[in-house]
Structure 1
Amino acid sequence: MESVDERAVEGGARGRERVCLVPWAEADLWLLRRTNSPEMTAHLGGPETEEQLAARHRRYAEPGPGRMYRVTLADGGETVGSIGYWQRTWQGAEVWETGWAVLPEFQRRGLAVRAARAVREAARAEGTHRYLHAFPSVDHAASNAVCRGAGFALLGQADFEYPKGHWIRSNDWRVDLEKGD
């Protein structure tokens, strides 16, 4: 699969940094390690072990329902983070779930919002599920702002176990992929 260029989503807006979604590759393990800091994982139960990172990397690189991406700047190709969508059963239905991580030096620039819009279009193009959900912690202001900015609708709150043994209270944000919003 070719990379997804966010220009198609944003209409090529001038004066704003654009992002591309590059399918996850074997060489991208460094990015998981880089985002595995206490600061970057504070809302996810903390850093993972090297074994957990290696297992997650294998899942990201293997073909399956959904897709993980490395997020790059459209101009220059510099890696700014990761995003993806994967299948989950939610309230008795199969849906897509999304999540992202933006490296600290690239935060507060709107890149996560643009990446979330691009991943929304990638999930829509796959045509498998009607809904794309995001479940950020209720107290993770930045990720909730990304959902709002990317056009997700807030449905309410839910409790999630992630990682296993660690419960978090999350907001349930959703986009209807069939409606084209």
Structure 2
Amino acid sequence: MERTPPVPAPLRIEPWSDDDLELLRLANAPELMDHLGGPETQEQLEARHERYAALSADRTGKGRMFRIALAGTGEGVGTIGFWETTWQGEQVYETGWAVLPGFQGLGIATTATNAVAEQARAEHKHRFLHAFPSVANAASNAVCRKAGFVLLGMCDLEYPPGRPMVANDWRLDLHPDR
């Protein structure tokens, strides 16, 4: 029997704020951090929260972090963002996301990824947006495919720093007309 694809929940992405630490704690669940070296300590979470808030307050095109919120209730159901990085000698944007377990499988990550790609495109700064999910993270790799990213191949990374991982390098051309 063929499965009907889920209808994406109406959502919005909202700039990360000082009020979003609890959402970050919820996204630190072991099942969400499994491919990223495991849950972070309270100190690491607080430092990440400060980085997210600072990035969202910066208006120089270095990136933005967002909370993923259901449109109807405003309930935070995940995190997503984009930030500058150097990849293979080129300045690009990178993206990453987490959707809380009770909201997975509804198309939320793909919808939010499309929305964050639009935010990155609007900066008119970098041509490419990359995502580097673990090769073992089938769900995140599917999000990349559904959001129109092109798989460039596997690569070796460290995430978190000091922890080797094999990732897929997915790339989205933000300005294909260039």
The offset of 1:166, in angstroms, is 0.6
Query: TM-score, normalized by length of structure 1?
Result: 0.89
- In the other structure, the counterpart of 1:54 is 46
Matched, 1:142 2:139: yes
Which of 93-102 and 56-65 deviates more? Answer: 56-65
Task: Give the Å deviation of 1:18.
Answer: 1.9
Corresponding residue of 1:115 = 112
Give the TM-score, by structure 2 length.
Answer: 0.90
Q: 1:113-136: per-residue Cα shift (whole Å, max 9, x none)?
A: 000000000000011110000000
Could you tell me which of 23, 30, 35 is aligned with 1:31?
23
**Which residue in 1 is equivalent to 2:125?**
128
CA deviations over 1:131-161 (Å, ceiling 9, x no partner)? 0000000010000000001110100011110
Q: Kindly provide the amino acid, as one letter, of the partner of residue 126 in structure 1.
A: E
3-state secondary structure, aligned to 1:133 = strand
Distance in 2 between the 1:52 and 1:89 partners? 23
Q: 1:21 aligns with which of 4, 10, 13?
A: 13
1:161 maps to what in 2?
Answer: 158
**1:72 is the counterpart of 2:69:** yes
Give the paired residue count: 166
Offset from partner CA, 1:66-125 (integer Å, 9 cap, x none): 000000112222211010000100000100000000000000001100000000000000
Listed as ranges, the gaps of 5+ residues in structure 2 are: 1-6
Q: Which residue in the other structure is 1:11 paired with?
A: none
Give identity over the alignment, percent.
59
Q: RMSD of aligned C-alpha atoms? A: 1.1
